[in-house]
Each structure stands twice: as structure tokens, then as C-alpha cells.
Amino acid sequence: EVAVREVETACGQVTTDEVYEEEDRIRHDIRALVNCVRAKVSESVKPYVHMTATSYDIIDPANAARYKDVVGKVLVPSLTKLEGALINITLRETETVQVGRTHGQHAVPITFGFALAGYVSRLGGSIEALKALAVELPGKFSGAVGAYNASSLFFDDPEGFEAEVLAELGLTPAEHSTQIVPPEALTRLFCEVTITAGILANLSDDMRNLQRTEIGEVGEAFEAAQVGSSTMPQKRNPINFENAKSCWKIVAPRIVTVFMDQISEHQRDLTNSASARTYGEVVAYVVSTAKRLTRTMKKLTVDHANLERNLAMQKGLVVAEPLYIILAAQGHPDAHEKVRTLTLQAEREARPLEDVVVGDAEMKDYLEKMTSYQRQILSNPSLYTGIAAKKARAVAERWKQKLGT
């Protein structure tokens, strides 16, 4: 126990500069650290410093502990704050009707809250996955090739000793290790980090597209003195959403490096010696992106007038789907084709679809069979949102309760 306290005290006194200087001399990082610790303990304690351990009995548990900490204490809290901002907007805009878009084209009406609820759900899922994956990162203290060769010289139960050592760091041993822990747990974690970055990039793309001049449904807050262009004074660019997309371009390819580091020959090689040191940057980029998007989303403006304008832009063509379904339900022999020809006529004549439908002789009997609600949809597409508002509210409330945002 006295020896343990002496080593702990020595570890707290060692500086990085000392270790780097020793590494320059002997050309080995962990042995340099060992030498620096040994230099600060008594002669009787020196033999026990690093006894039975190999370098990656130190490095792999340290990496597992730090990634577990950074995910749990930095990344997840940052993402949870963004999730909270998304939930608030979702609940605020639950009933705000917006034209849905597929392939960049107007589809059928939804609500803006419903659109954001999709991101609430996706991001919430990633937050939960990150938490689960981080706590599963294993450690090792099994020696040079993972077979407990050295520790079995002194312990009847070297695996029990390993478990005790790792428990001090809040870790559990890998079921099987070589000189290193199996890479899959960390690989899965970084897959999820990359997935999360993709969700943030997708959100950013949607928001910046909705900010286009000709759409104008949302906007980033713009400071009074802020400048959007060095030559075009009128510009108000979606720089924060663009920055998030740019960070994703950095993060996404990095997963290939993680995959390549999965391969380590026999009981271990050093082909990840440079590449694995870049992993922390990936987490940093996603944290930075999450914080930036949180600030941006909290100040996001929603232009309800432009939302209404865009919904009405195609003069009711967005109700072609319910019209087709209603006709089919009434037994029309080729409802889809009939409505398609009516929409083409409406476009050609620049008339509201409802007017074309009412003026079509074949449609008279079908119109008379429609319910009052079905007729109202033809003249008021905002009524055709399905359960978008209900779904948006349910998703937002579920994640609000689950994450305590």
C-alpha cells in the first residue's frame, strides 16, 4: 500500500516535457514514462513500476477511459442541448403547415414541426447509441500477447487481477485480447459518431435549402453589423449551416481510417501508430458542430408568410394525391391517370386544380359523392396533413421526457 501511494504520487509529479525528453533519448513513449516515474520513487519501489505490463496495457485502457469520458461528459451533453433546441422548435411549430418535398419537388403538405421531429428522433437515437457504446469500451491488462504470460508468474488468477486493475478505471476486460484490445468496440463507437455527424449535416442541408432566396421559409439570425459578402451588401448567407456541412466532410472520410485500423497482424503491429492519434479530432469536430447548431437553431426564424406562399405556389396541385385516392375509393376505373391529366391541364392553363376539377364533366358525379371534408381539402391543402402535428408532438414529448431536455 505504501508502494502504491508512492507510485501514485510520482505519477502526479511527472511532466509531459520530462517524458518527451526521455522519449527523444530512448525512442519509446511508454518506457520513457516508466523511466520518469521510476526516477521519482524509492529504490525498493522501482522494480514494481510497470511490472507484468506491456505498453498497451497502459494505452488501451487509457484510450477506453478517455473516449468513455469525452462521449459521456462532452459529446452527449452537447448533442443533448441541440436536441433540446430542436424539440422546442418542433413543439412551437407543430401546427405550422409546410409543403413537403421529395426529390426537391413539392409533394403533399406536412407541418414544419413534423419535419423537425424527424431530426429529433434520429438525433435522439444516436445519443442513446453513443451512450451505450461508450460504456462498452473494454480494457486489458493481459501482457505482451494477451495470454497473461508475465502476470501468471505471480498470480493464481491473472484474469482476476486484470479485472481489479481495470475496475479502478471503471472498465471491464475484453473477453479476449492480444497485445491490444479487439478494435471492434471503438470502431462501432466511431461509426456512431460518424452517423451523428451525418444527421447534423442533413439537418443543416435542409435548413440552408429552406433559407434560399426563392424559398425563404427559415433564416439564421443575422446580427445588426453582420456582413454577408465582401461585394454584395444585401447577402445574408447561411454560414452556420454551411460550416456544419463542411465539418461533416472532414468527419465522414475519417471512418475509413478507423476501419483500416481494425487490421493488426498477428498479436499486434504498429500500422495504426499515426492514424489512431487522429480519432480525437473526429469527436472535437462533432462537438463543435453540435454547439454551433445549438446556437443557430435557438435563434432560427420561421417565415410563416413564405410557408403559406410556397404551399399555394402550384395552385392546389399538392392535393392531387388525395383527389386520386378519393376517386379510386369511389370506384373510378383509372383514377391516377384521370388526376394526372387534370393536373397537366391545370398547369397548362395556369388555373387552380380545384377549378379544373369542378369544370370537368366527368367529375360531377364524383364531386357530389365527396364528403364535406374531402371537398374542403381540394380548396384548402393545409387540411391535408394527415397526423403530422400529432406525430410531431408525440415524438418531441417522448424525447423531451427521455433525455430530460
Backbone angles phi, psi at 359, to 5 degrees: -85, 0
Residues in the chain: 405
How far is Cα 220 from Cα 242, in angstroms, rounded to an integer?
A: 11
Residue 142 is predicted with a pLDDT of: 98
E strand or H helix at 8, and its extent? helix 2-13
How confident is the prediction along the chain (405 residues), in pLDDT tens digits per residue?
788 999 999 999 999 999 999 999 999 999 999 999 999 999 999 999 999 999 999 999 999 999 999 999 999 999 999 999 999 999 999 999 999 999 999 999 999 999 999 999 999 999 999 999 999 999 999 999 999 999 999 999 999 999 999 999 999 999 999 999 999 999 999 999 999 999 999 999 999 999 999 999 999 876 655 655 555 555 577 899 999 999 999 999 999 999 999 999 999 999 999 999 999 999 999 999 999 999 999 999 999 999 999 999 999 999 999 999 999 999 999 999 999 999 999 999 999 999 999 999 999 999 999 999 999 999 999 999 999 999 999 999 999 999 998
Q: Which domains does the chain have, with CATH numbers?
A: 2-48 (no CATH), 55-136+181-309 (1.20.200.10), 315-383 (1.10.40)
Confidence (pLDDT) at 232: 57
Q: Which of 238, 200, 234 shows the shortest CA–CA distance to 218?
A: 238
Look up residue 237 and give its three cell numbers: 448567407
Selection from 158, 162, 77 nearest residue 404 by Cα? 77
User: Is the CB of residue 289 less than 8 Å from the CB of residue 247?
Assistant: yes
- pLDDT recorded at residue 223: 65
Three state DSSP letters for 142-177: CCCCCCCCCHHHCCCCHHHHHHHHHHCCCCCECCCC
The Cα 55–Cα 143 span in angstroms is 9
Distance, C-alpha 230 to centroid of its chain = 33
pTM, full prediction: 0.92
Write down the residue that cell numbers 403538405 correspond to: 109
Amino acid symbol at 130: L
The catalytic residue positions are 103, 229
